């Protein structure tokens, strides 16, 4: 039995994530009150056809959402396996998404129409769930296609898999990734930006990748970077961590961070680790 509770901020992409789960074989139900989750769980558990199931519950169910935390605690106390996938996004992005779609926020009536206050109230309401979530994904700068791929990578797994590693490249001038567990600053390495023929390329282009990876400074960093992740990953698994986000940052997020995040992603795949990669600022 594989059971996923999908929740998070309104406008953060839960519908997209739910479709991604459906695409990989999950039986899904949207907008279910928490008090009905145990009933749905039992029905799926008794059905051989629904051994992979997911449910969305969020602020749309109103005051009933307050029962989610005790519901999850009760299911876990009964030894029922489940995972919580939490979708987050920055306040500014959420406000902009609601303004663009002209949709009403579920808490708009409570805040007398103030969209900013509704987002802040919902974030406060969801904080206890975020703290116990198995997976937390910040969708602020993730395109729809990338979000689908990211969600699928979390749950396309064999029973022996125990951790999903996501590598993110970013530019420090655009801010740190909110979901990062480990952050590596590679601004100390030779910068292709100052080579005219490389400036408009990215770390996915072979000339830039060769320039970055073949420098003596990068070789020293790469070996230590690899050794550290290889050493730490089993320790995280032992502690029961389900998701590890490795962020690699340079100045703009176009060259050095892209090359090294891509390198780590490929290295982990080669070791049989369930890995994915996002180049957050590469096209900014």
Query: Tell me: the pLDDT tens digits for 120-131?
Result: 999 999 999 999
Q: Is the pLDDT of residue 189 over 90?
A: yes
| 41 and 122 both lie in a single domain | yes
Answer whether residue 284 is part of any domain: no
- Residue 239 has a pLDDT of 76
* Other Cβ atoms closer than 10 A to 57: 25
Write the CB contacts of 97 (distance below 8 Å, at least 6 apart in sequence): 11, 89
CB 242 within 8 A of CB 83: yes
| 130 and 77 both lie in a single domain | yes
| Domain that includes residue 258, residue range | 164-279
Of 103, 136, 155, the position where a domain reaches its end is 155
CB 14 within 8 A of CB 22: no
Closest CA to 133 of 36, 241, 234: 241
14: pLDDT confidence band, cut at 50, 70 and 90? very high
Answer whether residue 137 is part of any domain: yes
Three-class secondary structure assignment of 147-180: HHHHHHHHHCCCCCCCCEEEEEEEEHHHCCCCCC
Q: Is the pLDDT of residue 158 over 60?
A: no
Answer whether residue 35 is part of any domain: yes
Query: Tell me: the pLDDT tens digits for 135-157?
Result: 999 999 888 878 887 888 888 75
C-alpha–C-alpha distance, residues 111 and 284, integer Å? 35
Answer whether residue 102 is part of any domain: yes
Answer whether residue 181 is part of any domain: yes
Sign of the dihedral through C-alpha 186, 187, 193, 195: negative
Question: What three-state secondary structure class fits 241?
Answer: coil
Beta strands in 36-117 (DSSP E): 52-56, 83-88
Least confident among 38-52, 74-88, 238-252? 238-252
Size (the chain), residues: 284
The more confident residue out of 117 and 145 is 117
- Maximum Cα–Cα distance across the chain: 63
| 10 and 104 both lie in a single domain | yes
Report the relative pairing of strands 27-29 and 243-250 from DSSP bridges: unpaired
CB 85 within 8 A of CB 35: no
| 146 and 194 both lie in a single domain | no
- Residue 102 has a pLDDT of 86
Of 130, 155, 180, the position where a domain reaches its end is 155
Count of the separate structural domains present in the chain: 2
C-alpha–C-alpha distance, residues 146 and 137, integer Å? 12
Query: Tell me: the pLDDT tens digits for 40-80?
Result: 999 999 998 899 999 999 999 999 999 999 999 999 999 99
Of 131, 155, 179, the position where a domain reaches its end is 155
Question: What three-state secondary structure class fits 257?
Answer: helix
| Interval 213-217 mean pLDDT | 96
């Amino acid at each position: 039995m594989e059971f996923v509770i999908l929740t998070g901020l309104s406008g953060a992409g839960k519908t997209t994530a739910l479709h991604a789960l459906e695409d990989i074989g999950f039986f899904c139900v949207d907008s279910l009150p928490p008090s009905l989750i145990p009933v749905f769980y039992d029905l799926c558990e008794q059905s051989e056809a629904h051994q992979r199931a997911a449910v969305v519950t969020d602020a749309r169910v109103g005051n009933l959402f307050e029962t989610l935390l005790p519901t999850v605690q009760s299911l876990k106390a009964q030894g029922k396996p489940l995972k919580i996938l939490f979708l987050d996004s920055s306040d500014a992005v959420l406000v902009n998404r609601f303004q663009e779609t002209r949709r009403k926020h579920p808490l708009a009536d409570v805040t007398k129409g103030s969209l900013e206050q509704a987002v802040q109230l919902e974030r406060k309401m969801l904080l206890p769930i975020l703290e116990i979530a198995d997976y937390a994904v910040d969708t602020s700068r993730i395109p729809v296609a990338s979000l689908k791929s990211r969600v699928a990578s979390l749950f396309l797994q064999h029973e022996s898999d125990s951790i999903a590693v996501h590598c993110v490249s970013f530019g420090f001038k655009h801010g740190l990734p909110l979901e990062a567990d480990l952050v590596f600053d590679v601004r100390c390495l030779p910068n292709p930006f100052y080579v005219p023929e490389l400036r408009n390329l990215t770390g996915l282009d072979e000339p830039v990748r060769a320039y970055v990876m073949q420098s003596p400074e990068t070789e020293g960093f790469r070996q230590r970077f690899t050794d550290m992740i290889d050493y730490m990953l089993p320790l995280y698994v032992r502690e029961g961590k389900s998701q590890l986000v490795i962020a690699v940052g340079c100045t703009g997020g176009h060259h050095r961070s892209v090359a090294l995040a891509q390198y780590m992603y490929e290295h982990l795949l080669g070791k049989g680790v369930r890995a994915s990669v996002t180049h957050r600022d590469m096209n900014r």
